[in-house]
């Protein structure tokens, strides 16, 4: 028993080490494969820990620093955020199939992206797509809150049913606008709806990184409350927890986090559904351990899913949602058989 406890405590440090190694190694993959040593030299140069290396070409420097590293780091941010929100929603709704996309947030963001592409054009420059996607996600979240809490408490079943209703409605509106609008825009919107990290730039990372850090810390600070809610409404109420208020707060934070990530990466599914189940096998049910491990494993999963998206049909990009759905679906099938 003591040995198992020590192994559990070692999982997170080892996973963090694997994440750091993966960030460097994954940056090497793409249409042009680079040596990890060259990537290390570029990173040391740009962070001020080494002189400009004459053996690293300007093209290699540009590929690593301006294109691939921001993309890998965006994968870290999005993967960690989706995995943590998925674990939180599964606890707050006591539903093992709960997922950020069941809240209708992704469908709302997709609808906003379609409006940006078909109607708004280049209204806000390079931020147009992300801005409209974020607005769509927030509107969808507000609709779910209103429907779920209409004339009653925000219960788990009402929350999920409201999310499904909003998701179907938003998807129908997006498909209608695509059908009636410019058909040339359909391909770009379809790629965005399936998810991708191709928009990653250093200027785009600041807001998602800040929101993810603050949001994940806020959720982790409520680990004990999440543990109590997993035990049931009566147990949580007996501990003095206002379950309706806490569930509403958790939903709002999770919806905002999902909206931010979807607005910069598109609708990437299965991360928030599958990763928490995998992590529970290493960390147990306590959210004090589960949430940090979900953040690391979600980041690892999305980093390597993006590597597959880059190399499988290089030099073109495969939508990352295809990779996550294939891997996530197979993993979920294995988990279901073992339950």
| Average pLDDT of the residues in 31-59 | 76
Alpha-carbon distance of 200 to 283, in angstroms, equals 32
Alpha-carbon distance of 223 to 257, in angstroms, equals 17
Alpha-carbon distance of 254 to 153, in angstroms, equals 18
- pLDDT > 90 fraction of the chain, expressed in percent and rounded: 22
Domain positions in the chain are 85-269
pLDDT band at 79 (very low <50, low <70, confident <90, very high): very high
* pLDDT, tens digit (0-9, with 9 covering 90-100), for 278-306: 898 888 888 999 999 999 999 999 999 99
Q: Are 291 and 87 a contacting pair, CB within 8 Å?
A: yes
Alpha-carbon distance of 255 to 146, in angstroms, equals 13
User: Which segment, 3-7, 52-56, 152-156, 307-311, is predicted with the most confidence on average?
Assistant: 307-311
Task: Kindly tell me if the per-residue pLDDT of 324 is higher than 80.
Answer: yes
Task: Kindly tell me if the per-residue pLDDT of 136 is higher than 60.
Answer: yes
Task: Kindly tell me if the per-residue pLDDT of 4 is higher than 60.
Answer: no
Task: Kindly tell me if the per-residue pLDDT of 163 is higher than 90.
Answer: no
Q: Is 220 helix (H, G, I), strand (E, B) or coil?
A: helix
User: Which segment, 22-36, 168-182, 248-262, 289-303, is predicted with the most confidence on average?
Assistant: 289-303
258: nearest Cα among 92, 137, 126: 137
Phi then psi dihedrals of residue 191, to 5 deg: -60, -40
Q: Are 282 and 14 a contacting pair, CB within 8 Å?
A: no
Task: Kindly tell me if the per-residue pLDDT of 152 is higher than 60.
Answer: no
261: Cα within 13 Å, side-chain hemisphere: 36
15 Cβ contact list (under 8 Å, min separation 6): 293, 296, 297, 300
Q: Residues 181-209, buried b or exposed e (16+ Cβ, 10 A)?
A: beeebbeebebbbbbbbbbbeeebbeebb
268: nearest Cα among 140, 119, 77: 77
Beta strands in 199-331 (DSSP E): none
| Average pLDDT of the residues in 307-319 | 84
Q: What's the mean per-residue pLDDT of the chain? A: 82
pTM of the model: 0.88
Q: pLDDT value at position 81? A: 95
Q: Are 208 and 77 a contacting pair, CB within 8 Å?
A: yes
Q: Is 327 helix (H, G, I), strand (E, B) or coil?
A: helix
210 Cβ contact list (under 8 Å, min separation 6): none
The pair of three-digit structure tokens given for residue 74, joined into one six-digit string: 């965006």
- pLDDT > 70 fraction of the chain, expressed in percent and rounded: 86
- Match domain 85-269 to its CATH number in 3.90.25.10, 1.10.3470.10, 1.10.1240.10, 1.10.3210.10: 1.10.3470.10
Task: Kindly tell me if the per-residue pLDDT of 193 is higher than 80.
Answer: no
Q: How much is the CA Rg of the chain, to the nearest whole Å?
A: 21
137 Cβ contact list (under 8 Å, min separation 6): 105, 106, 108, 109, 112, 255, 258, 259, 262, 263
Q: How far apart are the first and last CA of the chain?
A: 23
Alpha-carbon distance of 21 to 26, in angstroms, equals 8
* pLDDT, tens digit (0-9, with 9 covering 90-100), for 247-276: 888 888 888 888 888 888 888 888 998 899
Q: pLDDT value at position 302? A: 95
pLDDT band at 12 (very low <50, low <70, confident <90, very high): confident
> 67-71, 101-105, 279-283, 325-329 — which is least confidently predicted?
101-105
* pLDDT, tens digit (0-9, with 9 covering 90-100), for 84-114: 999 998 888 877 777 887 778 778 877 887 7
Q: What is the secondary structure of 35-86 as a DSSP string?
A: -HHHHHHHHHHHTTSSPPPTTS-HHHHHIIIIIIHHHHHHHHHHHHHHHHHH
**C-alpha dihedral, 266 to 268 to 272 to 278, nearest 10°:** -150
């Amino acid at each position: 028993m003591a040995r198992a406890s020590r192994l559990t405590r070692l999982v997170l440090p080892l996973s963090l080490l694997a994440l750091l190694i993966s960030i460097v190694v994954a940056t090497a993959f793409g249409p042009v494969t680079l040596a990890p040593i060259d990537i290390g030299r570029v990173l040391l140069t740009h962070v001020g820990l080494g002189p400009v290396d004459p053996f690293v070409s300007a093209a290699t420097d540009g590929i690593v620093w301006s294109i691939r590293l921001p993309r890998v780091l965006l994968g870290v941010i999005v993967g960690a955020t989706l995995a943590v929100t998925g674990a939180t929603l599964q606890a707050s709704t006591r539903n093992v199939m709960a997922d950020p996309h069941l809240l209708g947030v992704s469908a709302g963001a997709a609808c906003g992206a379609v409006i940006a592409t078909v109607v708004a054009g280049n209204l806000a420059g390079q931020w147009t797509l992300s801005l409209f996607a974020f607005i769509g996600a927030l509107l969808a979240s507000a609709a779910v809150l209103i429907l779920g809490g209409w004339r009653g408490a925000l219960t788990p079943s009402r929350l999920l049913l409201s999310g499904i209703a909003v998701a179907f409605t938003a998807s129908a509106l997006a498909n209608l606008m695509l059908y009636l609008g410019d058909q040339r825009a359909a391909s770009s919107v379809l790629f965005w709806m399936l998810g991708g990290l191709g928009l990653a730039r250093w200027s785009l990372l600041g807001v998602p990184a800040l929101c993810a850090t603050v949001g994940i810390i806020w959720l982790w600070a409520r680990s004990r409350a999440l543990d109590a809610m997993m035990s049931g409404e009566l147990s949580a109420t007996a501990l003095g927890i206002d379950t309706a208020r806490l569930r509403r707060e958790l939903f709002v934070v999770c919806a905002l986090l999902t909206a931010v990530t979807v607005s910069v990466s598109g609708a990437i599914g299965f991360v928030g559904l599958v990763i928490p189940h995998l992590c529970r096998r290493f960390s147990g049910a306590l959210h004090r351990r589960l949430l940090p491990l979900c953040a690391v494993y979600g980041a690892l999963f999305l980093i390597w899913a993006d590597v597959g998206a880059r190399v499988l049909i290089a030099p073109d990009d495969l939508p990352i949602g295809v990779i996550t759905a294939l891997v996530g679906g197979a993993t979920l099938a294995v988990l279901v058989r073992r339950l």
